[in-house]
Structure 1
Amino acid sequence: MTMTKEMIDAVEKDLVFLATSSKEGIPNVVPIGFARPIDDETILIADNYMNKTRKNLEENPNISLVTKDATKCPFQFKGKIEIVESGKYFDIVTEWGQNAMTKLTPKAAILMKVEEIYSIQPGPDAGKKIG
């Protein structure tokens, strides 16, 4: 699924919230500060502190990501992930971590392939599939 510039900007600008589920269906939602689109169909996410989230991703590759500001850029992205622990994308998230004030050392890069996009704008179109 192709993201528009507005959607890409919404992911890049602020925190996003990442929802996962265990193989038993137990949900987990966490704020993520290191998530950036790398093209119009893929979002790169740094695994800096993931514990329950990482376990869930290993058991169930389906995720949902929501942008923070529901009044300006309100989107929900759904897709599947790949966990990468070396190579180009791991190097990118490692660089993000080293450039952060806290000098993070990421454990992995998570590549999310966007498969569906929904509006979460409050009002009559809330939940409408837009991509």
Structure 2
Amino acid sequence: MDYKLIDFPIHGNHEGKLVALEKNNEFPFEIKRVYYIWDTVHDAIRGKHAHKDLQQVIICVKGECDFILDDGKTRETVHLNNPAQGLYITNNIWREFTNFSKDCVVMVLASEHYNPKDYIHDYHEFLKEASCNR
């Protein structure tokens, strides 16, 4: 499955920490869109889609949650709870996220602007697409 965890360099000292994301350093693409999600019910299931072309880096900047990733062959769960680590997901991976802590804030950095035509919302359609891309 085409994803990885990226550890970002932490700058700072005992007074506080800072992570800077810069194109071509620790970051795999030019950022064209940023959004964040918070105040989510613990057992809600968000996402439930795949992207045809979009790449994303997801950072749990506060709290914790689980990402369930599926490439049509395998399903894996990735636990996010470190604001200095990002989950890099390429295209054609079904994603869901759940198990939100009460204080969870998730920030998503995307390689493209919002395009509704890039989304696959139906899991069975995703499985068909995934089998064609093998």
> Relative contact order (C-alpha < 8 Å, sep 6+): which is higher?
2
Larger strand proportion of the pair: 2
- TM-score scaled by length of structure 2: 0.24
Larger helix proportion of the pair: 1
Structure number with bigger Rg:
2
